[in-house]
Amino acid sequence: MNFATGKEQVAASGQSKGTTHARTRSKRAWREAIEFYLMLSPWALGFIVLVAGPMIYSLYLSFTDYDLFNAPKWIGLENFRYLFTSPPPSSVLWKSLAVTAYFTFLSVPVSIAGSLLLAVLLNTKVRGLPFYRTSFYLPSLTPAFASALLWVWIFNSKFGLANAFLRSIGLPPVQWLTDPHWVIPTFVLMGLWGLGGNTMIIFLAGLQGVPVHLYEAAEIDGANWWDRFWAVTLPQISPTLFFNLVLGIIGSFQIFTSAYLMTGGGPNYSTYFLVLYIYQEAFKSLHMGRGAALAWILFVILMIFTLLQFWLSRRWVYYEGGEAK
């Protein structure tokens, strides 16, 4: 009987210790959760106040008639109907969409290919490599306003450096910023100035993460430089390529500063990009409701492009193990 009582006491003591440990773990978990949310709260508060709140309010404004001086007046889908179906000047929406898409499909491949080429060159072991990397990165730090003024001077049709170079080799001058057929290619050429920027840095980081033994194995098998690049480098950096492609398309749809400062949307609406149209409607014409509607149209377009890229990435983006996800 005494033996049984002792076993019961030991069992009760074990249950008590287990309960105590459980309570201790529970208190620790609660304390860690509270600390986590306290640490997160500044960012969460900033996101709600500065990002999520304005986005929700802009969605509301897109269904209103608002000019900054009078209270918003609910008009439903009228802003969207006006933008998509009304006669000029609202039909400029289709022109701005076409111009923005044209610029995107020209500039993004050039930017991605050029930045990748620079990253490959700067990933080689040569003397003075830090100097070269710094030299190629510095132009991307130039303020957009100063860069735009510099390009206006270079592409001036009368005394610009670009036409002076063409004349020196016997070619006729080009109306870089005043010819509707040349102005978008000119903007693409201007984008070459920033090839050594963040996109190149991201590619360089991806290239440095490629295992060396894969190159060694390919070289033993007799693969030349191009074979190693195509069969080893590209598959290994495909997640990096995908990341830069997504950001590149989003960035190309948001072009504004150079068009605003250099051409003002001209000539003949040939540089009237969608963000410039948003600015003109919202802050020049004070049609804040239409500006908000245009901003949400841009958001939906970018969301569609991004989702499409994620869907297509299953076919060509490779992760660890060599399988597409």
Q: Please tell me the predicted confidence (pLDDT) of residue 17.
A: 56
Q: Alpha-carbon distance 144 to 319, whole Å?
A: 36
- Residue 96 identity (one-letter amino acid): S
Give, for all 325 residues of the chain, the pLDDT tens digit: 454 555 555 455 555 555 666 677 788 888 888 998 999 999 999 999 999 999 999 999 999 999 989 999 999 999 999 998 876 555 789 999 999 999 999 999 999 999 999 999 999 888 888 899 999 999 888 888 889 989 999 999 888 999 999 999 999 999 999 999 999 999 999 988 888 899 999 999 999 999 999 988 998 988 898 999 999 999 999 999 999 999 999 999 999 999 999 999 989 899 999 999 999 999 999 999 999 999 999 999 999 999 999 999 999 998 865 555 4
Q: Alpha-carbon distance 25 to 169, whole Å?
A: 79
Place of tokens 């994620």: 310
Q: Please tell me the predicted confidence (pLDDT) of residue 240.
A: 95
Closest among 184, 190, 135, 140 to 162, alpha carbons compared: 190
Peptide bond preceding 89 in cis form (omega within 30 of 0): yes
Q: Please tell me the predicted confidence (pLDDT) of residue 27.
A: 83
* 143's tokens: 């303020």
Q: Please tell me the predicted confidence (pLDDT) of residue 14.
A: 53
Q: Please tell me the predicted confidence (pLDDT) of residue 196.
A: 87
- Residue 173 identity (one-letter amino acid): P
Q: Alpha-carbon distance 127 to 268, whole Å?
A: 50
SS (H, E, C) the chain: CHHHHHHHHHHHHHHHHHHHHHHHHHHHHHHHHHHHHHHHHHHHHHHHHHHHHHHHHHHHHCCEECCCCCCCEECCCHHHHHHHHCCCCCCHHHHHHHHHHHHHHHHHHHHHHHHHHHHHHCCCCCCCHHHHHHHHHHHHHCCHHHHHHHHHHHCCCCCCHHHHHHHHCCCCCCCCCCCCCCHHHHHHHHHHHHCCCHHHHHHHHHHHCCCHHHHHHHHHCCCCHHHHHHHHHHHHCHHHHHHHHHHHHHHHHCCCHHHHHHCCCCCCCCCCCHHHHHHHHHHHCCCHHHHHHHHHHHHHHHHHHHHHHHHHHHHHCECCCCCEC
Q: Please tell me the predicted confidence (pLDDT) of residue 56.
A: 95
